[in-house]
């Protein structure tokens, strides 16, 4: 059964999308993090370029319908495994602080 509940469409699948997008944009996440650590309070002004690159990368994935379908398929697979076994599989999360 591939019918999705409201919480699955609006919360769980977008959460998978965010996690995967952060992994795929990890070079930009690292560049932004490094800039913020180096500049401290002035990061708002000095890290605009890195912030813009990071936003563009993430928004590119968030607005891609095929990426949504990939993440939806991943979620449905996880849900199917859970329903079959009753064992919740831990999802690997991106551990880098943003």
Query: pLDDT-based confidence at 92, cuts 50/70/90?
Result: low
Is pLDDT of 98 > 50?
no
Listed range (18-32, 57-71, 78-92) with the worst mean pLDDT: 78-92
Q: How far apart are CA 74 and CA 96, in angstroms?
A: 22
Q: How far apart are CA 25 and CA 4, in angstroms?
A: 28
Query: pLDDT-based confidence at 73, cuts 50/70/90?
Result: very high
pTM of the model as a whole: 0.78
Listed range (7-11, 36-40, 41-45, 91-95) with the worst mean pLDDT: 91-95
């Amino acid at each position: 059964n591939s019918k999705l509940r409201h919480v699955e469409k609006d919360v769980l699948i977008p959460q998978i999308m965010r996690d995967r997008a952060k992994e795929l944009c990890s070079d930009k996440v690292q560049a932004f993090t490094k800039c913020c650590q180096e500049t401290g309070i002035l990061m708002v002004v000095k890290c605009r370029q890195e912030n813009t690159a990071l936003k563009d990368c993430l928004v590119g994935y968030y607005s891609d319908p095929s990426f949504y379908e990939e993440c939806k398929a991943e979620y449905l697979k996880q849900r199917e495994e859970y329903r079959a076994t009753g064992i919740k599989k831990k999802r690997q999360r991106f551990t880098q602080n943003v």
